[in-house]
Amino acid sequence: MKLSSGLGRGLLLGGGLVLLFVAIVVVLAKVMPGPHSPRDYLVIGTLATFASMAVLFVVLISTSMKGSDIFFKRRKDDSK
């Protein structure tokens, strides 16, 4: 069974984001001084989620939404 290119790209992006999330969690857990409290784990998870979502946003904007007007579209001039 062959995956379509869109599904394959989506799975690759999702897998990459999961790996990035885990890597950030591991690095932050090593960097933060111990012993870790539940609040420390909350901060680590929040920062890892923020970084993962920022990377997802940048990747989606730079790949699938190619164009000069990403956030707005110009209206057609109907005044003529």
Domain count, the chain: 1
Does residue 53 form part of some domain? yes
Q: Which residue has the higher pLDDT, 74 or 37?
A: 37
* Predicted local distance difference test score (pLDDT) of residue 30: 93
Is residue 38 within 8 Å of 65, Cβ to Cβ?
Answer: no
* Domain annotation covers residue 39: yes
5 falls within a domain? no
Preceding omega of 35 cis (within 30 degrees of 0): yes
First to last CA, the chain: 54
Instruction: Determine the structural domain holding residue 57 and report its residue range.
Output: 33-64
Within a domain: residue 41? yes
Give the global pTM: 0.70
**Residue 17 belongs to a domain:** no
Average the pLDDT over each of 4-13, 32-41, 52-61, 66-75 and give the range with the smallest value: 66-75
Nearest to 51 by CA among 75, 76, 78, 16: 16
Tokens encoding 18: 């999961």
